[in-house]
Structure 1
Amino acid sequence: MMKKNLLLLVASTMVLLGACGGEENTNENASDKGGNEEVYTLKLGTALAETDPIYQGLVEFKENVAEKTDNKVNIEIFGNGSLGDDKDIIEQAKVGTNVAVIVDAGRLAEMVPQMGILSAPYLVDSFDEANQVVQSELFKGWEEELSENHNLQVLSFNWYQGERHLLTNKEIKTPADLKGLQLRTPGAAVWTETITAMGASPAGMAFSEVYPGIQQGVIDGAEAQHPATYGANLHEVVDYITKTAHFQLVTGIVAGADWMAELPEEYQTIIYEEASKAGEKASNNTVDSLADFEQKMIDEGVKVNEVDIEPFKEATSVVYEKFEGYKELREEINKILGK
């Protein structure tokens, strides 16, 4: 019996040694093949609908990154706010979660206050001007501060969503007509101060809640750019779109700096390059689509009004007094733009 047990022990030991040897050979083979076999997944959230040129640009970004990395970097897109509120996604990104978000500078101003100037009223007049600013050394300095001090990495910030206008059931011709109205706007301070300066009361809520909010009378209206208005069907619950163009909405893709740093360097380079290319293309598509979105909404019954924007510019000029350094930053940006 003892001899039999000894033989079984020897046999078991040989099997274990063989198994260990097999694992070592497998690892050597994987190493010999070279390359990183790990697949990285980034969950990208946006409040936009699939009809929006920016959303379509994100799809192109996803496809190009997958192709260039041989499907080793997978970007999953979550539209209509389905990944959560922008602020919540940012907080997750800061602690290293594999998430990213399309976000405006007003939200990022909670961490780098100077960035909020990009969401200030009537700062720039077009995508070309906005793009000049976000490609400048001034903006690059803000990006570095965001990365080094807040663990957030800008992948590209050239995603232009269009001019934002007023959406109401009351006809608006001057800022005085906004008195007593409660309008939804993103919760960033520079946005709420702008709506207050225009004469309305700002109301913060998720963009996905705006349609029922207006329909049920919880709020009196909102402000948004044409592609987002159409994508959320907000033209169905308002009578008027007043073209104040108070914001030129330029946004960016922001992820966690730690998560990006974990990627192989070649993948990081691909992501930055493709984010910039897709952002520029999507922005130009946005510019080209604005008139079409406007006509579609007119055809479906909403009245689009052109107004004199000078009274709105004058009313909102006070916003630059509300935030430390904004007057000086505006002058610096005007120099960048050659104004």
Structure 2
Amino acid sequence: MRHEKAAAALAAILLAVAAPAAAADYTLNVNTALSVNDPLFRGLESFRDGVAEATGGRLEVRLFPNSQLGPDEDVLEQARAGAPVAVVVDGGRLAVFQNEFGVLGAPYLASGYDGMRRVVTSDLFEEWVEALRAASGHQVLSFNWWQGERHLLTKHPVDGPADLSGVRLRTPGAPVWVETISAMGATPTPMPWGEVYSALQQNVIDAAEAQLPAVVGARLDEVVTHITKTGHINLITGLVTSAAWFDGLPEDVQQALREQALAAGDVASYGTRDALAQIEADLTARGVTIREIDVTPFREATAGVYDKLGYGELRDTLQAIAEAE
């Protein structure tokens, strides 16, 4: 009898191990243009694991780096249609739906992560989140995914705006980016991030601008020779999904999604901050010339972007929030 019970117990254990894991009740596919080597991707992995634990496995997050689900704009449209997708996206791309988001990508709004975090966790920002839901059907899970300050990536030294005259410089197509790059002296040339390497290699464009982790992830050190640390845009991004899909989730799952997105955004952002010095050292070792310059001429050249896009008053409000202790 004892042997029979032991055999039965062993059979039950083997059956449990062999059986496939129970399928999740809900699935969220997350798209990012960045590679798995980017510090931000570590945050996405933290988000995936945190959501699984917080929901008891009821919601499965699947990660798709290198824009596997398509360009950011396409995924945003999928979300508007109610698909269970999310995308890591900057405010400029959301400004076409809710104008205030564009100011997050405006030049020299704040420096570093902590100030930007105060902005995107403020009561004012939450008002924008609700307005975006009503305007476009998008749900922001969190917007504290800091990717670093963006710098100029060129094939020649740059000291000031005059050195960018006639330079075809890739940028995202949102108005705030286009106006910023134009004000800096270059000719803005919008194109998807995934096309930048080949465009530089084939001289379709002359230059680009990006944060240091993205330079490594896209191997742009192979096609540019100079990085000029202008820090012209402090890139804060958000994890954005479908409001219709989100509203169909149980309330506790909704709460878990937003809480885990905020926590994972900190993982991503502080991981990025801590990685920057080593990334810069690695790029230098590969032969890229990285230079600090006086950015005052660029600050002065881009100051008018705020008023041109109607963000003048908002800039003062957000800078006060960013600087508050």
TM-score with structure 2 setting the length: 0.91
Which structure 2 residues correspond to residues 308-323 of structure 1 after superposition, within 5 A?
Answer: 308-323=294-309
- The equivalent of 1:3 in structure 2 is none
Aligned partner of 1:333: which letter? L
Structure 2 runs not aligned, ≥5 long: 1-21
- The equivalent of 1:246 in structure 2 is 232
Do 2:43 and 2:265's aligned partners in 1 also have CA atoms closer than 8 Å? yes
Q: Residue 338 of structure 1: CA displacement?
A: 4.4
Among 92, 101, 105, which residue is 1:115 paired with? 101
- The equivalent of 1:189 in structure 2 is 175
Residues 253-293 of structure 1: CA distance to partner in whole angstroms, max 9, x if unpaired? 00000101111111111111111101012101111111111
- The equivalent of 2:195 in structure 1 is 209
Do 2:115 and 2:323's aligned partners in 1 also have CA atoms closer than 8 Å? no
- The equivalent of 1:285 in structure 2 is 271
Which structure 2 residues correspond to residues 37-52 of structure 1 after superposition, within 5 A?
Answer: 39-52=25-38
Residues 141-185 of structure 1: CA distance to partner in whole angstroms, max 9, x if unpaired? 100101122111000110000000000001101110000100111
Aligned partner of 1:212: which letter? S
Q: Residue 68 of structure 1: CA displacement?
A: 2.1
Q: Report how many residues are paired.
A: 303
Which structure 2 residues correspond to residues 81-120 of structure 1 after superposition, within 5 A?
Answer: 81-120=67-106
CA distance in structure 2 between the partners assigned to 1:38 and 1:289 by the alignment: 34
CA distance in structure 2 between the partners assigned to 1:162 and 1:68 by the alignment: 29
Aligned partner of 1:86: which letter? D
Among 220, 244, 260, which residue is 1:258 paired with? 244
- The equivalent of 1:23 in structure 2 is none
- The equivalent of 2:315 in structure 1 is 330
CA distance in structure 2 between the partners assigned to 1:336 and 1:306 by the alignment: 28
Residue 253 of structure 2 aligns to a residue whose secondary structure is helix
Aligned partner of 1:330: which letter? R
Residue 233 of structure 2 aligns to a residue whose secondary structure is strand
Q: Residue 114 of structure 1: CA displacement?
A: 1.3
* Structure number, greater radius of gyration: 1
CA distance in structure 2 between the partners assigned to 1:38 and 1:211 by the alignment: 38
- The equivalent of 1:28 in structure 2 is none
CA distance in structure 1 between the partners assigned to 2:244 and 2:59 by the alignment: 16
CA distance in structure 1 between the partners assigned to 2:111 and 2:135 by the alignment: 31
Q: Residue 334 of structure 1: CA displacement?
A: 2.5
Is 1:231 the counterpart of 2:203? The answer is no
Percent of paired sites with the same residue = 49
Q: Residue 115 of structure 1: CA displacement?
A: 1.3
Q: Residue 246 of structure 1: CA displacement?
A: 0.2
Is 1:156 the counterpart of 2:142? The answer is yes
Aligned partner of 2:31: which letter? G
Structure 1 runs not aligned, ≥5 long: 1-35
CA distance in structure 1 between the partners assigned to 2:318 and 2:252 by the alignment: 33
Do 2:91 and 2:105's aligned partners in 1 also have CA atoms closer than 8 Å? yes
CA distance in structure 2 between the partners assigned to 1:222 and 1:337 by the alignment: 28
Q: Residue 321 of structure 1: CA displacement?
A: 2.1
Runs of 4+ in 1 over 4 A off after TM superposition: none
Stretch deviating more after TM superposition (260-269 or 101-110): 260-269
Residues 219-276 of structure 1: CA distance to partner in whole angstroms, max 9, x if unpaired? 0010000000111000111010000000100001000001011111111111111111
Q: CA RMSD in A?
A: 1.3
Aligned partner of 2:64: which letter? F
Residue 232 of structure 2 aligns to a residue whose secondary structure is strand
CA distance in structure 1 between the partners assigned to 2:317 and 2:283 by the alignment: 38
Residue 80 of structure 1 aligns to a residue whose secondary structure is coil
Residues 272-318 of structure 1: CA distance to partner in whole angstroms, max 9, x if unpaired? 11111010121011111111111111101110011110000001111
- The equivalent of 1:172 in structure 2 is 158
Is 1:137 the counterpart of 2:123? The answer is yes
